[in-house]
């Protein structure tokens, strides 16, 4: 039976506590997490919560699952933005979004995220933001069908930096890189080599 670290929640053999530096920011981050992602070993929302302890995670898929969240958002008194690229979304860097706002991120595959949007039309009523990202995801341990796919932690980090250009997001990537490296190190050499070739 694996022993879990009380600090980071990962097995003690892959503890990343030394790489975690919690941050405090003005922007409120809320993750709408698809139920299938909760127990996924490679999910980055756990990392997001370690580096941004104020992050809220709401698990669900249908509108009923997010009923309390909708009430919260209505009473929050802050601008609310959905982080999702679409034909009507604005570049976060050019949107003028204030630091003291709420950003909603959907945690799931592209297919599941799209389904969640269809099941939650209230999300489509929110102004949407996207990131002008031209690089390559560092999420080498999880395959994605789209070349512009980012992990939830990466998307959050780049979105926060777009809203607050002076924000240092290095602590988020320090924890992320440590987790990714542990996963790679645990793979058989042949599997690890295949991931290296694909990225």
pLDDT at 146: 47
Q: What is the mean pLDDT of residues 146-163?
A: 84
163's enclosing H/E stretch is helix 152-163
Of 5-19, 38-52, 138-152, minimum mean pLDDT range: 138-152
- The sheet carrying 56-59 orders its strands as 56-59, 28-33, 102-107, 80-83, 128-130, 90-91
Q: Name the more confident of 181 and 113.
A: 113
Assigned token pair, 35: 């139920």
CB 32 within 8 A of CB 107: yes
Q: What is the pLDDT of residue 147?
A: 44
Tens-place pLDDT, residues 16-31 = 999 999 999 999 999 9
Q: What pLDDT does 167 receive?
A: 95
Mean per-residue pLDDT for 122-151? 69
Percent of the chain past pLDDT 90, that is, above it, reads 64
pLDDT of residue 145: 47
pLDDT of the residue at 110: 86
Asked if pLDDT for residue 92 goes beyond 50, the answer is yes
Question: Which whole number is the average pLDDT over 39-44?
Answer: 77
Does residue 152 have a pLDDT over 70? yes
- The long-range contacts involving 69-74, CB below 8 angstroms and separated by at least 24 positions, are 69/30, 69/32, 70/122, 73/102
Q: Model pTM?
A: 0.85
Do residues 116 and 34 touch, judged by C-beta distance below 8 A? yes
> Can you tell me the distance from the alpha carbon of 120 to that of 146, in angstroms, rounded to the nearest whole number?
23
């Amino acid at each position: 039976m694996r022993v879990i670290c009380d600090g980071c929640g990962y097995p003690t053999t892959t503890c990343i506590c030394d790489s975690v530096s919690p941050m405090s920011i003005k922007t409120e981050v809320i993750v709408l997490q698809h139920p299938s992602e909760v127990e996924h070993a490679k999910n980055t929302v756990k990392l997001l919560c370690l580096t941004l302890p104020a992050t809220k995670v709401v698990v669900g898929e249908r509108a009923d699952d997010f009923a309390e969240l909708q009430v919260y958002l209505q009473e929050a008194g802050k601008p609310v933005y959905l982080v999702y690229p679409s034909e009507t979304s604005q570049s976060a860097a050019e949107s003028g979004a204030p630091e003291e706002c709420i950003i909603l991120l959907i945690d799931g595959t592209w297919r599941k995220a799209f389904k969640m949007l269809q099941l939650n039309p209230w999300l489509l009523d929110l102004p949407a933001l996207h990131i002008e990202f031209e690089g390559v995801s560092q999420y080498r341990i999880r395959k994605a069908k789209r070349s512009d796919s980012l992990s939830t932690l990466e998307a959050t980090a780049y979105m926060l930096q777009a809203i607050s250009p002076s924000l240092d997001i290095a602590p988020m990537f320090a924890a992320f890189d440590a987790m990714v490296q542990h996963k790679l190190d645990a793979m058989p050499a042949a599997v690890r080599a295949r991931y290296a070739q694909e990225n």
